[in-house]
Amino acid sequence: MADLDIPALLAALPPRLAGIVQAHAAARPAAPALRDPHAGTVDYAALWQGIQDCATQLRALGVRPGDRVMAVGENCANLVTLIFAAGLLDAWIVNVNARLSPREVDALQAHSGARLVFYTAEVSPDARAHGKRHGATDAAGPFGPWLVGPLNQDCVPEPVHADGAAQPAALVYTTGTTGQPKGVLLSHRGLAYVAAVSSRLRGLTPADRAYGALPTSHVYGLASVMLGTLYAGACLVLAPRFTAPGLLQALDEERLTILQGVPAMFARLLELTGDAAPLPNRLRFAYAGGSPLTPSLKAAAERLLGVALHNGYGMTESGPTISQTDLAAPRADTSVGRPIPGVELRVVEGAGADVAPGQPGQLWVRGPGLMLGYYRDPAQTAAALRPGGWLDTGDMGRQDADGSLFIVGRSKELIIRSGFNVYPLEVETVLNAHPAVAQSAVVGRACADGNEEVIAYVEPDARAEGADLARVLAAYAAQALAPYKCPSRIIVMEALPAAATGKILKGRLAQMAAQLGSVPIGERSRGFEGA
């Protein structure tokens, strides 16, 4: 992994995120910054002008430093511009995926106390529906029309800090494993740092073209994909939402060189194309993150794309990147690599003492990208941020002698069955290796005797044939797992409940498992439509 001068890198970061675009607009004004499905190609000069015009519009509409500006939308040039423009005024961007339900959107708007809400109606029917429901009106955006909601006169501005390390740039909501949204405060310097390191470790250049289908409402899409691409002066090819046919088309027509996604994106591409022959493309590399990558999916995606599928690990609270595999040294296993420069890692036991090397434990991290805290939630902030600047990730992992990190699972998802620890990720890895499985999710269910049982939810591969998949998988798991790790129940669903990023909503599955009666292996349940 590259040896970066972290103090020098931090010193060179712009005080506000918009400085990333401003610098390229001055040095390479005609270079393409964005490819938008409606606005076409937007160069760096046009993007910087759009950011300034948008900031002027925000100010005229009544946005003040310390206000929260909410965007209900999907990826487009207007949304990218709004993210930078809000920060230019020292307001916080609150980016919310338009595919959330009315109840979810309203809850986030209320919690953030947003001064103003924008809706990217031109690229998102869902955003338009939310805007009309909220009484928003049509207005001209920097790169096409959008909807603007009424001014919230009750919004109280938060304090403003000149130091980019203390000034929030984004309020990012995450469900985590509790199912309750938490507002994570990420600073200008923290996000810029992750963008800079992500860009440099991946060797991005202005000639690169990256795929921007991951929602910028998710920290992966915001920091690593969008900000990381623009930090390098490269071009971001925007897609309002991911579809496998859309990705296939972009690989060809947009001449993509960089592909970053969640494992579910690669699984959907494989379902569409099959994995019998390499897919023609111009990719230099591909990266997966956001959820566990199984060995079978990694191998199949590498055969299809003809390049190594690198792996990484992060979370919203770390802004997000914690570790990633080395571009120059692809791995055959599913390690998430070593900590990125500037990030420190500890593997500890419950009391906070370091475990022996190679042993699993709770992961603590610290570095420049860590969150400032949870908005309006000092109790959860204190629980997550430990003395010495450490963040308790809530994840379980182990670190090899060479520093390579392997994720074992979430500490809150640990299942204790007959006194033995069962890590859901291990069971999921076995189930996902079966050719008839697209993805799986394992949760625990409390029993009346105080024990826990292992419940597996499975989404079949679209190409799979044959009935009674649950019984087939039960026999398959019995050959690969110790008896106490084998699922008590395997429930086949048409689709696992998932967020727009493809991340499985395990909290919802845990609620379903808690309501199960005495059901034999082989129950079939209807799927949920993703958020």
Average pLDDT value for the chain = 91
**Confidence check: pLDDT of 529 > 50:** no
pLDDT band at residue 1 under the 50/70/90 scheme = low
- Per-domain residue ranges of the chain: 414-525
**Confidence check: pLDDT of 350 > 60:** yes
Contact between 394 and 368 (Cβ < 8 Å): no
**Confidence check: pLDDT of 528 > 70:** no
For the ranges 99-113, 249-263, 320-334, 409-423, which has the lowest average pLDDT? Answer: 409-423
Q: How far is CA 4 from the centre of its chain?
A: 25
Mean pLDDT computed over 195-222: 95
Closest to 61 (Cα-Cα) out of 106, 95, 91: 91
Distance from C-alpha of 321 to C-alpha of 324, rounded to nearest angstrom: 8
Most confident of 44-58, 316-330, 343-357, 482-496: 44-58
- State the helix-helix crossing angle for 424-432 and 469-480, rounded to 10 degrees: 120
Residue 450 has a pLDDT of: 62
Residue 412 has a pLDDT of: 75
Residue 527 has a pLDDT of: 31
Mean pLDDT computed over 357-379: 96
For the ranges 45-49, 234-238, 477-481, which has the lowest average pLDDT? Answer: 477-481
161-181 pLDDT, tens digit each: 999 999 999 999 986 444 467
Contact between 88 and 16 (Cβ < 8 Å): yes
Residue 121 makes CB contacts below 8 A (sequence gap 6+) with: 127, 128, 131, 145, 146, 147
pLDDT band at residue 519 under the 50/70/90 scheme = very low
Residue 421 has a pLDDT of: 73
More confident residue, 518 or 412: 412
**Confidence check: pLDDT of 2 > 80:** no
For the ranges 67-71, 320-324, 417-421, which has the lowest average pLDDT? Answer: 417-421
Mean pLDDT computed over 235-240: 98
Question: pTM score, two decimals?
Answer: 0.84
179-194 pLDDT, tens digit each: 467 999 999 999 999 9
User: CATH code for 414-525?
Assistant: 3.30.300.30
Residue 277 has a pLDDT of: 74
Residue 179 has a pLDDT of: 47
